[in-house]
Amino acid sequence: MQIEQTGTSILQEGPLVSFIIIAYNLPIDMLKECVESILTLGLDHREYEIILVDDGSDVPVIAQLTDFQDVLFYLRQQNQGISVARNNGLRVAKGKYIQFIDGDDKLLNAPYCQCMDLLRAENPDMLLFNFTDKDHPSGKAIKYESPSTGASYMHTHNLHASACCYLFQKNLLAGPTFTPGIYHEDEEFTPLLMLKAEKVIATDSAPYYYRKREESIVNKVDDNEHVAKRLDDTEQIIYKLKHKADTLPEMERVAMNRRVAQLTMDYLYQMMKAGVSQEDLDERVKRLETHSLFPLPDKHYTYKYSLFRLLSKNKLSRTIMSKIIR
C-alpha cells in the first residue's frame, strides 16, 4: 500500500491533542468547515495538530484546501475505508489525546472548549461527550460525573460507541486497532478501549456536530447488500466481544457482557427495522442461540432492555414486533 504524505506538522513534539479527520469524496465546503471548527477553538498552536487522512478521494482534497496547507498534516491512501484511514492517522499522531472527526462533521466552539478545560484540569484517560444535530450549542455550563474506571462505567451505563464522541489518551493503545473492512468498527473498538481506562469522565456536553447525509454508507437503509453487510459485521463483532468477555477477570467480564447484551438487543432491533425476511431473522436468532446469546440475559439493565428481552423471546411476538417497527 502506498501512502502519499504532504505538509509538515506546525507543532513542537508532544501536542496535547491530535485531531484526526477522515475524508472521502466530501463536499469541500463541509471539509473546510470541519477544519475551521478546530482552528477557531483558540488553542495554542503547540497544543494541537490536525491530521487529514484522504481515503482515496477521486480528487486529492489537499488541492482544494490551499488556505489550510500550512496547518495540516496530510495523508492520502488508496480507498480502503475508515478503519484503515483511522489506523494510518494513529500511526503518525503525536498528541497525548486523540480526537477523531468525520470530515463532514465539525466541533462546536463553546462546548468543546469547556471539554478541553475539563481535560486539562482532570487529565482523564477518556473524556466522554455527546453529538448533536443542531448547529448552534445551547450555551449551558458543562456537567459531568465523578471519575470512574472504564469497567465501572460500563457496569452502570449503556455505552455510546462512536469514536468521535470522546477524547482518549493514545497510550491506552498498544497499536492501531480498528478492524479493516467492517461497518460499525466503533462497536468493537470503544468497549475494548474503555476497559483499559482507569479514569473516565462522562459529561452531558454535546460539542460534536453530526451532519446526517443521504450519501453516507450508514444511511443506505434501502440497499439490501449494505444492510446484509452491516448485520453480518455487527454479528461478528458481538461474537468477538463475547469471546473477549470470557477471557476477562470478573469485573471486566460483567461489564463487557452488559455491552454484548446491549449490542445484541440493538442487532435484533435493526434486523426488524430493516425488514429482513422471517427466514433470515429466524436463522440469525438460531446462530445467537448457539453462542449462548439468545434469549437475551435476564438482567435489569434498563426498562427498555427488560421489555425488549421479554417481547423478543417468542417467535410470534418477534414477527409482530417486526411489522410494528418496520
Residue-by-residue DSSP string for 89-108: HHHH---SEEEEEETT-EE-
pLDDT > 70: percent of the chain: 93
pLDDT score recorded for residue 1: 41
Cα–Cα distance for residue pair 296/308, rounded to 1 Å: 9
Cα–Cα distance for residue pair 111/77, rounded to 1 Å: 33
Say if residue 4's pLDDT is above 80. no
The predicted model scores a pTM of 0.92
**Region 206-228 average pLDDT:** 77
Longest CA span, the chain: 63
Say if residue 9's pLDDT is above 50. no
**Region 6-25 average pLDDT:** 77
Q: Which three cell numbers stand for residue 92?
A: 503518525
Residue 114 backbone dihedrals phi, psi, to 5 degrees: -65, -40
Q: Which three cell numbers stand for residue 242?
A: 463475547
Sign of the alpha-carbon dihedral angle for 98, 104, 109, 110: negative
**Region 28-32 average pLDDT:** 97
**Region 194-219 average pLDDT:** 86
pLDDT score recorded for residue 326: 82
Residue 283 backbone dihedrals phi, psi, to 5 degrees: -65, -40
**Region 8-20 average pLDDT:** 73
Lowest mean pLDDT among 36-50, 98-112, 159-173, 209-223: 209-223
Say if residue 8's pLDDT is above 50. no
Q: By C-alpha distance, which of 151, 158, 244, 163 is closest to 199? A: 151
Cα–Cα distance for residue pair 186/182, rounded to 1 Å: 10
Say if residue 321's pLDDT is above 70. yes
Residue 237 carries which DSSP code?
H
Residue 26 backbone dihedrals phi, psi, to 5 degrees: -95, 155
Amino acid, single-letter form, for residue 208: Y
Cα–Cα distance for residue pair 69/6, rounded to 1 Å: 9
What is the distance, to the nearest Å, from the Cα of residue 121 to the centroid of all Cα atoms in its chain?
25
Q: Which residue shows C-alpha cell 438460531?
A: 286
**Region 14-38 average pLDDT:** 97
Q: By C-alpha distance, which of 106, 133, 137, 101 is closest to 20? A: 101
**Region 288-314 average pLDDT:** 96
pLDDT score recorded for residue 221: 52
What is the C-alpha R_g of the chain?
20
pLDDT score recorded for residue 13: 62
Strand, coil or helix: 126: strand
Architecture of domain 3-209: Alpha-Beta Complex (3.90)
Q: Which three cell numbers stand for residue 237?
A: 463483532
**Region 272-290 average pLDDT:** 95
pLDDT score recorded for residue 214: 65
Q: By C-alpha distance, which of 31, 9, 176 is closest to 101? A: 31
pLDDT score recorded for residue 176: 62
pLDDT score recorded for residue 93: 97
Sign of the alpha-carbon dihedral angle for 296, 298, 299, 302: positive
Q: Which three cell numbers stand for residue 243?
A: 469471546
**Region 19-48 average pLDDT:** 97
**pLDDT band (50, 70, 90) for residue 216:** low
Lowest mean pLDDT among 9-13, 106-110, 297-301, 311-315: 9-13
Reported as a single tens digit per residue, the pLDDT across 70-116 is: 999 999 999 999 999 999 999 999 999 999 999 999 999 999 999 99
**pLDDT band (50, 70, 90) for residue 139:** confident
